[in-house]
Amino acid sequence: MRTVKKAKRMQSLAAGIKRDGRTIAFVPTMGALHEGHLSLVRRARKLGDIVAVSIYVNRTQFGPGEDLKKYPRTLERDKRLLRLLDVDYLFLPDDSEMYPSGYLTYVETEGITSVLEGKSRPTHFRGVTTVVAKLLNIVQPDVAVFGQKDAQQAIVISRMVADLNIPVKVIVAPTVREKTGLALSSRNRYFSPEQIRRASCIYHGLKRGRELINSGVTDSKKVVSEILRIIDDAEGTTIDYISINDANTLDHVRKITREVLISAAVELDGVRLIDNIKAKPGRTGC
């Protein structure tokens, strides 16, 4: 695995790969890799001749008071894991490479970024779209792989890629979970096994919501209040939102008649967790 720290160098390596007629599959990450990231890398391995991964903790997607300083950094371990998966290139820029002095340009996708996570974290997606647009320009992949765990992020990035005519195919890979059901996240490393067990109430709530929808409940308020009850019952949880939205547009849904995304943001003992599940209505009208 070759580590590349400079954007220009990465771009010229990518151009060489393309000239040779080979394809690049790319997984952008902020490091602190876990099995969820590794599943994205394995998927990338199947999708391109060359696999590139980036590790960059992007400060522009953290709001004031969020955990940028505390964000886990485990570079040596990350590198070992990526080598084991035969990753070809690790793009590892620093802040001055990504946002040199005099930096003034940001990418903003409107509308779908002001609901759910965007409502709670108003500057978050501007940071994500900016850094992902930059990373795509630098690594020039044919395919980029994102996780369903950050469902809204995947939708926002797909929109940006379409709107800005960026020549990349966006692939969204399934969420990987702990045995208890808790979605894997770099922030789970702050938890004890007992907290992981408690945090799994989020997934259990979401699953119950899906069951209700599958069985024909169409009133989203009813579904949300059942999920709320399950998550609220677990000790140490503070709910930010539980929401049911159109799975493609993220429009808020009152009556469930098409595929929806049920999403939740919950703090457990002060650590903010997000998760989601898709659900299709059962035989409505019964």
- Residue ranges that bind ligand PAF, judged by CB under 6 A: 28-30, 58, 61, 128, 131-132, 150, 153
Q: Nearer to ligand PAF by C-beta: 10 or 223?
A: 10
Provide the minimum distance between the beta carbon of 209 and ligand PAF in the complex, in angstroms, as a whole number.
24
Q: Nearer to ligand PAF by C-beta: 153 or 276?
A: 153
Q: In DSSP terms, which residues pair with 180 in a beta bridge?
A: none
Radius of gyration of the chain, Cα coordinates, nearest whole angstrom: 19
Name the pairing type of β-strands 143-147 and 271-279: unpaired
- φ, ψ of residue 120 to 5 degrees: the values are -80, -25
Dig out the tokens for 29 from the structure. 């990450």
Name the pairing type of β-strands 50-55 and 89-91: parallel
* CA atoms of 135 and 60, how far apart (whole Å): 14
Helix (H, G, I), strand (E, B) or coil at 174: coil
- φ, ψ of residue 90 to 5 degrees: the values are -110, 115
Q: Nearer to ligand PAF by C-beta: 30 or 138?
A: 30
Q: Nearer to ligand PAF by C-beta: 39 or 61?
A: 61
* CA atoms of 221 and 227, how far apart (whole Å): 10
Provide the minimum distance between the beta carbon of 55 and ligand PAF in the complex, in angstroms, as a whole number.
9
Signed CA dihedral, 164, 127, 186, 136: sign only: positive
Q: Nearer to ligand PAF by C-beta: 133 or 247?
A: 133
Dig out the tokens for 126 from the structure. 């501007």
Dig out the tokens for 142 from the structure. 């044919």
End-to-end CA distance of the chain: 57
Provide the minimum distance between the beta carbon of 157 and ligand PAF in the complex, in angstroms, as a whole number.
7
Provide the minimum distance between the beta carbon of 56 and ligand PAF in the complex, in angstroms, as a whole number.
7
Provide the minimum distance between the beta carbon of 155 and ligand PAF in the complex, in angstroms, as a whole number.
13
Q: Could you give the angle at the alpha carbon of 186 between the alpha carbons of 183 and 191, nearest 5°?
A: 75
Q: Nearer to ligand PAF by C-beta: 264 or 274?
A: 274
Signed CA dihedral, 97, 145, 59, 104: sign only: positive
Provide the minimum distance between the beta carbon of 170 and ligand PAF in the complex, in angstroms, as a whole number.
11
Catalytic residues: 37
* CA atoms of 183 and 276, how far apart (whole Å): 9
